[in-house]
Structure 1
Amino acid sequence: MRIAVGLSTAPEARQAGAEAAAHALDQLAGETLSLAVLLTSRAYTDEASAVLAGVHQSVRVPALVGCVAQSVVAGRREMENEPSVALWLASGLPAAAETFQLECIRTTTGGLLAGHRFDQAVGDFHLLLSDPYSFPIDVLLEHLNADLPGTVVMGGLVSGMQGPAGSRLFRDREVVASGAVGVRLPGLRGVPIVSQGCRPIGYPYIVTGARGALITELGGRPPSERLREIVTVLPPDQLELLTHGLQIGIVVDEHLAAPGQGDFLIRGILGADPSSGAIEVGEVVEVGTTVQFQVRDAVGADKDLRAALVQASSDLPGRPAGALLFTCNGRGRRMFGVADHDAATIDDLLGGIPLAGFSAAGEIGPIAGRNALHGFTASIALFVE
């Protein structure tokens, strides 16, 4: 298996697609191509078809998926404020890549997910790119976890749109504006890495009162009281982190005696009721669940990413052939204050492997053996030669 990445910043859409494809193809001269992942910045939203046509003008590839995103990653660069097209090419896959498109069909009793049947017999690796407005990714992930354990999904929610109907997703030779696109990679070993951008503060608490996504009690007391207890003993530097937004972490594995950074599913706190002290979070939480308040922390996020990459590198059976990065659009300069943090860190610690990706409005990746939608993470699909 070999992987290459091509990049173009040409202002004209078709030229940008053709250039990115030609640059990637030069690195795989003579190879039989298996899969392409096309990622473009939102400067090309209205000309997404032209970018795709330019790619197909330069390369013949049997399977292609991709999207228009807020920003694009190529190599050790994260192009946050400039037009850019990246093409990730792979050759030598163990079996043919199978692209698909998913749609949610609304019914009187809920909805149906149509377009692809996930194989119950094998735990295949999948890449998935989803429109956050028209596709219920949480429903799909819940179904896979409950009914098809072992199926691995990685990817992200598309962040390049300017509202509903603004998404642009690529599948083979088509551009679609809703649903989700993906690719099944049978027989391929993808190594998932999910690095958190938040760290816990205070103590973990058992949820003793909850109604859906509303938490009414933590350890027998209102959540607002628990938070005040934490805030009164925080040092000044940690108090400052609270101004960047408070999150809640839901422990994924309840068997952990002392959960720490990386053991939580991070969700935002959407609101609070001053009269009752209850909080609303971005996930249904059951009584008996362990949770802990979290803060976004650049230093902790850097340490966590480095530790995850070092651990993955030591566990690999061979040299990494390349990777795809799905990094939160709240990271980058917004979190770290410098450009290219995640991409450059991966490049430094994994030896300059071919890397492409995009900034996502939610990152998809497994944690504790379960597929999940994350926030503020760097989710990396690492592929081994």
Structure 2
Amino acid sequence: MRFAADLDQHPNAGLSALRVGESLRRQLQHESADLSILFVTPAHAEHFEDIVQSFRKELPTRHLLGCTAESVVGRDREVEGGPAISAWAASLPGVDVQTFHAKFEQTPDGVLSDGLPTAEDLPGQVRTVLLFGDPYTCPARFLIDRLADDLPGIPLLGGMASGASNPGEHRLVRDDEITNFGGVGAVLSGPIKVRSVVSQGCRPVGRPFVITRSEKNVMFELGGRPALERLRETFAELPDKQRAIFQRGPHIGMAMNEYQDHFDRGDFLISSVIGADEDDGAVAVGAMVRTGQTIQFHVRDAESADEDLRSMLSPLKTIPEGKGRGALLFTCNGRGTRMFEQPHHDAAVVQSMIGPIPMAGLFAQGELGPVAGRNHIHGFTASLAIFEPEFELPPVR
């Protein structure tokens, strides 16, 4: 199993695609690829078709996915402006790769979908679903629910295309098909291990509360007292530095397993606080909540995001030697230098913690990844997929 990745910033789109394709072919030792992925910045968007053709001419590949993106990731770099192509390729012996183009239509009776994979269409041992969607025409939450029914427990990883300001401007590719709507993806089955890391960039503050009265996305009471009162109570207990961060944008974490005695990173699904009502003490958040659910307030800033990403990657630092591995990084377009003082933050942290590893990625308008075994679409998150051969250690004698 071999993986390759590179990033090219030549202003000529066709030449850039040839250069990055040639680099990947050399890294794969001149083998063809079973799966390749392209991320292209808006400066090259009008040449997307030429890029696909040039890339495939230089690197024969059975299956191809990709999309346009506001910014791209290549190895340990993040390009946040100007022309750039980031590419990733894998030789996956024994792995079944099935690509799809999912299309959606809103009707009076709800959303209709076509093209999504089902268990009946696939071989056994499904390992992961990769997906890149157009944020205007790919309803992520509906798609997540459908896959939860058809492929329960299978991680969904990827992100929404970014960088366009109007419907129809994003570009997606699936094999030989280029489109501007829906979602393109691949299902990987067989002897491949896929590890997922979802760093939501927050740290919990205060103590957990149980929602004792709520409606839709509004919390009226936490632990039998007005939710706004609990929020102010948490704020008052924070150190001065964290107060300033909390005041700029408090978040809540919704516990994914309410039967735990202790909660830590990775135990919460994060959502932002979007409003409050002085009259009834209610607090509104950006997700549906329910009475009986456990929540905890969180803060998010550059320091928290850096600390969280390192913490989530730390268990993966010990890597068996000789294993071919590759990674895809889906980071929010609100991260990068919009969040961190230094450029290349997320890519550099991944490489310093678990690299060197062939890695490509995009800055997404919504990142896909599992938290506590359930798939979600996130914001301000770094979602990482790590691919490696499946193997078993010999028994101890």
Q: TM-score range by the shorter chain?
A: over 0.9
Q: Match of 2:153, as an amino acid? A: G
Task: Give the alignment partner of residue 193 of structure 1, picking from 180, 192, 197.
Answer: 197
- 2:218 is aligned, of 203, 214, 217, to 214
- The residue that corresponds to 2:168 in the other structure is 165
Query: Alignment length, in residue pairs?
Result: 385
Q: CA RMSD in A?
A: 1.9
Name which of 242, 259, 276 aligns with 1:255: 259
Given the alignment, which residue of 339, 353, 356 partners 2:343?
339
Q: Does 1:380 align with 2:380?
A: no
**Partner residue, 2:102:** 102
Check the 8 A contact 2:5/2:88 in 1, yes or no. yes
Which stretch shows the higher mean deviation, 130-139 or 313-322?
313-322
Aligned-residue offset at 1:158: 1.7
Match status 1:79 vs 2:79: yes
Identity %: 40
Residue equivalent to 2:35: 35
Q: Distance in 1 between matches of 2:358 and 2:341?
A: 25
Matching of residues 354-369 of structure 1 within 5 Å:
354-369=358-373
1:185 Cα deviation (Å)?
0.9
Counterpart contact for 1:41–1:72, Cα < 8 Å: yes
In 1, Cα distance between equivalents of 2:278 and 2:56: 57
Is the Cα–Cα contact under 8 Å of residues 266 and 372 in structure 2 kept in the other structure?
no
Is 1:215–1:279's contact at 8 Å kept on the other side of the alignment? yes
CA distance in 2, matches of 1:46, 1:270: 37
Against the structure 1 CA distance between its residues 95 and 123, is the aligned structure 2 distance closer, same or farther, given a 3 Å change threshold? closer
CA distance in structure 1 between the aligned counterparts of 2:147 and 2:321, rounded to whole angstroms: 27
Match of 1:280 in 2: 284
- TM-score by structure 1 length? 0.94
TM-score, reference length from structure 2: 0.91
Q: Secondary structure at the match of 1:117?
A: coil
| Helix, strand or coil at the partner of 1:359 | strand
- CA change 1:289–1:320 in 2 (3 A) is farther
Mapped partners of 1:317, 1:202: distance in 2: 42
Give structure 1 stretches of 5+ with no counterpart: none
Which shifted more, 235-244 or 1-10? 235-244
Secondary structure of the residue that 1:31 maps to in structure 2? coil
Match of 2:156 among 153, 158, 162: 153
CA contact (8 A) 1:123 1:149 kept: no
Name the counterpart of 1:2.
2
Match of 2:139 in 1: 136
Question: Alpha-carbon deviations, 1:233-276, whole Å to 9, x = none?
Answer: 21111012125422221111112222122211111223333322
Other structure's SS at 1:39 match: strand
User: Structure 1 stretch 283-292 or stretch 305-314: which is displaced more?
Assistant: 305-314
What is the SS of the residue equivalent to 2:318?
helix
Q: CA deviation at 1:190?
A: 0.9
| Among 311, 323, 328, the residue aligned to 1:307 | 311
State the 1:96 CA deviation.
3.5
Asked whether 1:117 is paired with 2:122, we answer no
After TM superposition, list the pairs within 5 Å mapping 1:230-245 onto structure 2: 230-245=234-249
SS in 2 for 1:338: coil
| Cα deviations by residue, 1:175-225 (Å, 9 ceiling, x for unpaired) | 211111101111122111112201112221111222212222222222221
Cα distance, 1:243–1:55 mapped onto 2, change above 3 Å: farther
